[in-house]
């Protein structure tokens, strides 16, 4: 069964916006995390297909507020889940669906958000116990496509578009039923200044709050 928001504190995160910190530098992790937390974000993932990713997870976990979820993205192997947990991570995000990974993460009491694109994948993910579904790549599917997908999924399924999401596009996806998002390069890229990061993060949080009214 898919988890519900009452299972543990901090799930789903509020707002349910996952900051995707691809290429996060180890020596900037603390500063980047503080900016994002101060802006109101509470879910941060560091993709594992870049150097020093686990060090970034560990650094963020040390400074995270109690209601924050820190974890890793681009998780494709079982041993990576164990490594993320050892680094203090509690969130596992994958670009694809592998039900073995989903079940292993749940057995470790971690939150798990696999990537799906088709109804077949979405149903398989929910049956495996996914906490939410990462609709990826969202650029390839329109908001009406999400609305059609949600019409056949179990009520209450959390579906979070990822890929090409901007502050300006959040309202359109929300109108179609999206109840969270993963935000990548429109928010963070290596070398972005902390001032610019703060501006972008605040814009995303403001767009979410406006769409949630």
45 flagged as catalytic? yes
Supply the DSSP string of 126-186, one letter for each residue: HHHT-SSEEE--GGGS-HHHHHHHHTTSPTT--EEEBSS--TTTHHHHHHTT---EEE-TT
Q: Establish whether 103 is a catalytic residue.
A: no
Choosing from 45, 58, 175, 195, the catalytic residue is 45
Please tell me the distance from the alpha carbon of residue 40 to that of residue 36, in angstroms, as a whole number. 7
Residue of 58, 77, 79, 134 marked catalytic:
134
Active-site residue set: 45, 134
């Amino acid at each position: 069964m898919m988890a519900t928001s009452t299972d543990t504190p901090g799930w789903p995160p509020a707002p349910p916006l996952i900051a995707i910190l691809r290429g996060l530098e180890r020596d900037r992790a603390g500063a980047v995390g503080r900016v994002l937390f101060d802006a109101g974000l509470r879910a941060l993932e560091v993709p594992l297909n870049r150097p020093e990713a686990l060090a970034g997870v560990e650094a963020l976990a040390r400074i995270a507020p109690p209601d924050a979820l820190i974890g890793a993205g681009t998780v494709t192997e079982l041993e990576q889940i164990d490594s993320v947990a050892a680094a203090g991570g509690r969130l596992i995000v994958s670009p694809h669906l592998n039900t073995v990974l989903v079940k292993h993460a749940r057995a470790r009491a971690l939150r798990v958000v696999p990537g799906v694109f088709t109804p077949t994948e979405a149903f398989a993910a929910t049956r495996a116990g996914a906490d939410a579904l990462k609709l990826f790549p969202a650029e390839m599917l329109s908001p009406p496509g999400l609305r059609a997908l949600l019409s056949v999924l179990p009520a209450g399924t959390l579906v979070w578009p990822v890929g090409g999401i901007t502050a300006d596009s959040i309202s359109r996806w929300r109108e179609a039923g999206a109840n969270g998002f993963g935000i990548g390069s429109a928010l963070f890229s290596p070398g972005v200044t902390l001032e610019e990061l703060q501006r972008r993060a605040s814009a995303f949080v403001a767009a979410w709050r406006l769409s949630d009214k």
